[in-house]
Structure 1
Amino acid sequence: MTSTPTNQPLLKTPLYDLHLASGGKMVPFAGYEMPVQYPMGVKKEHLHTREAAGLFDVSHMGQLILSGADAAAALESLVPVDIIDLPAGKQRYALFTNEQGGIMDDLMVANLGDQLFVVVNAACKQQDIAHLQHHLPDSVQLEVLDERALLALQGPKAAVVLAQLAPEVATMCFMDIQRLAIDGIECIVSRSGYTGEDGFEISVPAEQAVALAEKLTAFGEVEWIGLGARDSLRLECGLCLYGHDLDETTTPVEASLLWAISKVRRRDGERAGGFPGADIILSQIETKSVSRKRVGLVGLSKAPVREGTELFDAEGHSIGVVTSGTSGPTAGKPVSMAYVHTAFAAPETEVYADVRGKKLPMLVTKLPFVPQNYYRGE
């Protein structure tokens, strides 16, 4: 969890009182009081999301609008991603990089037709806003949407539920986004999320967030889900958590995020480079010369291997560290993500985790640990 300085009061999302009324256990997270779990408990919340539909409050995330004719080109100068050719009604995963090639944050960028809609991580929100304000030209306007909440409805029954309130969502595919009314409430809806399941992220005016949440949880398929299960769900599906699996000292190549670097931004593209740290990142892609890589690990014993656990080879040499770990409720075995020396990054390589003085065997495996179930159309 992200700590908050004691001299700064914790912020509350528009759904705070509803979380309390629903039995949410509140904890500090990224400067907010957020629900870590509900009476159902983390494991059952996790499994419910995989089997039906879970509702998450992610209003602590930063929601931004970029407008102006130069908005796409200006944002593209800060990320290794194709923004200029992002079609209207589509969303894309992106990374803010620094001059050393490190990852400052990961984010979502959507083209609403007349504006770009950007969602950034809560812990990086103020840094990202300052970064944009410093680099965007005067021709691009940045609006921070402080008066909006953000809900994520995730799971195999999410579309069936939401289509009863907004029939248009039934025809949306993974990474589609549009403005639409949900039972009369004007929202921005994307078919996306961070659980590996089909689902939607819904930006809603703050004053209508409680009403929308109550409409959704009135469906028998939908339960409130807290941060604990959100973390285990995203980890099982191989999704990184900023500040844990990604940080300013880690490049996209080390993080095994080559898929997040658009081809047109690489050496052979007309719009190659031009983003912070481009020379370093593109050189790493060409030479494949990185000393460590992010990998998935499956435990060969029953004990979960948590963040911060040191990893060793068979001879007892330190070779890496775990950045995320859980018991894997759906996978049925302990799963972790870690950075290891590249010599140990190949699948089926056995490494050893130091858990309370015991060297527990783990096997490097391909990610994700459980299949991603995004809806890409019939």
Structure 2
Amino acid sequence: MASKRAAQLLRPAVNGFKASSVSLQHAVQHQTTIRSLATRAGRARKPARVSTTAVRFASTATPTSDGQLGRTGLYELHAKHGAKFVPFGGYEMPVQYSDLSIVDSHHWTRQKASLFDVGHMVQHDFSGPGAQAFLERLTPSSLSSLSENHSTLSTLLHPDTGGIVDDTVITRLANSFYVVTNAGCREKDLAYLTEQLETWRKDNPDKTVEWKLRTNQGLVALQGPLAATILERALSEQSASALKSLYFGQCMPGTIKGTDVEVLISRGGYTGEDGFEISIPPPATEAVTQFLLDSAKDELRLAGLGARDTLRLEAGMCLYGHDLDDTTTPVEAGLSWIIGKDRRANGGFHGDSVILQQLKKKSEGGGVTRRRVGLIIEGSPAREGAEIVDEAGEKIGNITSGCPSPTAKKNISMGYIKDGMHKSGTQVQVIVRGKKRKATVTKMPFIGSKYYKAPAPDPK
């Protein structure tokens, strides 16, 4: 019955369409509006209402050029399910739905599974003989060691300072690199990439690079402990079998049950839970999403940006424009692990003189003056911008993200603190609404991650 239902739903959408899908696994960037909602997430809420804000419909996942908000291909589905919309990254995006509060949606994701629309992300495809070398100039990642159908978190870097222009996920496909960047950085990133590619072509005329934006591709994130079970039921028998051996950071093509619709599935996400990000051909995006919801009515709910923000903070994941920016290097941000061994030895990436010096021991003139940390705060939750002070009242840092944790039932925050004060267990204070609150530096994530990882190799 399920396969027949899928075919009925999807056949009109994909008639005559041969799917060509790509992978990504990345985080959604949220705005201050969403962060404020998340900080107040513990309070009781009235049912959400659908905003009647007039916006122009964008048939592709691209904001309009005249300043009006764009819409992803799932806008009508969101409205039908009682979404409350907010402006975000140039789009009108759901922050929550009428059936669940933000806190309830958060718990539903941790206990069952939720589906997030992330189709507003900017999707790029780089190909050609110079593609790998070009991307290795912009990022500190070792793409030469990245296997096909595998992904890595990375950062686009400022040429001089090594500051983070944007965080990104890079996936090696059969004939290209698929790069996903944040919606809120669209204009800045496009200008940066255009300038960098022009310079590359002048310096390396024999190492051609083709750059294409994928503006029509649908993308949803299926997250939670029941995500694998739900997705297996929605796939063809062969695809469902292959899914069992798909591990965190890997991707695979899959076919929706009872149809010829091919999607590309990446195992990962932005919540700390097991899950998948599913890239869907444009004509089938809404039908596939609705089919997933219909096939798991008691297990799966739509979730918005509000729950996504509290989930990602519990998972210790950064939000660009708040926890990361172009004045912050990967070393300061606690992302040194993305810098490959060969890149540490040979450099050759933007800002390498700054970053490689920071990686050195203090006795060799290395190190940084501040570091990203997690904090548990007593009393009221601390919001972005709150000052961190020592026992003498001297400022030693700032909060960049904060909210009450629905899972841990504590006030959690992320921020930057003076080097030397960053060790777990260090007692500090945070100024919240003019009052000093006790805080403890703690390791992140704030709750344990549940990624589906490959078994450890046999030591024999």
TM-score (norm 2): 0.78
CA RMSD of aligned residues (A): 1.8
Per-residue deviation, 1:8: 0.9
Structure 2 residue aligned with 1:78, among 119, 132, 138?
A: 138
Q: Which runs of 4+ in 1 moved over 4 A?
A: 2-7
SS in 2 for 1:77: helix
Structure 2 residue aligned with 1:223, among 292, 301, 313?
A: 301
Distance in 1 between the 2:373 and 2:83 partners? 33
Within the alignment, does 1:195 sit opposite 2:271 as a pair? yes
Within the alignment, does 1:27 sit opposite 2:86 as a pair? yes
Greater RCO, CA 8 A, separation 6+: 2
* Aligned counterpart, 1:135: 196
Per-residue deviation, 1:133: 3.1
Per-residue deviation, 1:2: 6.0
Task: Encode CA deviations 1:100-138: one digit per residue, 9 max, x unaligned.
Answer: 010001111111111111111111223323333333346
Task: Encode CA deviations 1:217-255: one digit per residue, 9 max, x unaligned.
Answer: 121211111101101111111110111100000011111
SS in 2 for 1:49: helix
Q: How many residues align?
A: 373
Task: Encode CA deviations 1:58-108: one digit per residue, 9 max, x unaligned.
Answer: 111011111112211221111000112210111111110102010001111
Distance 1:14-1:368 versus aligned 2 partners, 3 A rule: same
Distance in 2 between the 1:133 and 1:6 partners? 18
Distance in 2 between the 1:182 and 1:259 partners? 36
* Aligned counterpart, 1:108: 169
- The answer to whether the 8 Å contact 2:381/2:432 transfers is no
Matches within 5 A, 1:1-378: 1=31, 8-39=67-98, 40-98=100-158, 99-136=160-197, 137=201, 139-166=208-235, 167=240, 168-183=242-257, 184=259, 185-218=261-294, 219=296, 220-267=298-345, 272-287=346-361, 288-301=366-379, 303-378=380-455
SS in 1 for 2:125: strand
Distance in 2 between the 1:38 and 1:307 partners? 25
Unaligned runs of 5+ in 1: none
Distance in 2 between the 1:365 and 1:294 partners? 11
SS in 2 for 1:11: coil
Distance in 1 between the 2:323 and 2:444 partners? 14
Q: Which has the higher helix share?
A: 2
SS in 1 for 2:195: helix
| Larger Rg belongs to | 2
Task: Encode CA deviations 1:34-64: one digit per residue, 9 max, x unaligned.
Answer: 1111120111111111111110001110111
- The answer to whether the 8 Å contact 2:64/2:70 transfers is no
Distance 1:362-1:188 versus aligned 2 partners, 3 A rule: same
TM-score (norm 1): 0.95
SS in 2 for 1:315: coil
Per-residue deviation, 1:260: 1.3
Unaligned runs of 5+ in 2: 1-30, 34-62, 456-460
Q: Which has the higher strand share?
A: 1
Task: Encode CA deviations 1:180-213: one digit per residue, 9 max, x unaligned.
Answer: 2233322221101111111111111222111111
Distance in 2 between the 1:106 and 1:90 partners? 17
Distance in 2 between the 1:20 and 1:306 partners? 30
Task: Encode CA deviations 1:285-312: one digit per residue, 9 max, x unaligned.
Answer: 11442111100001133x2211111111
Distance in 2 between the 1:304 and 1:96 partners? 32
- The answer to whether the 8 Å contact 1:133/1:142 transfers is no
Distance in 1 between the 2:452 and 2:176 partners? 25
SS in 2 for 1:298: strand
SS in 1 for 2:147: coil
Distance in 1 between the 2:378 and 2:191 partners? 45
- The answer to whether the 8 Å contact 1:112/1:177 transfers is no
- The answer to whether the 8 Å contact 1:148/1:204 transfers is yes
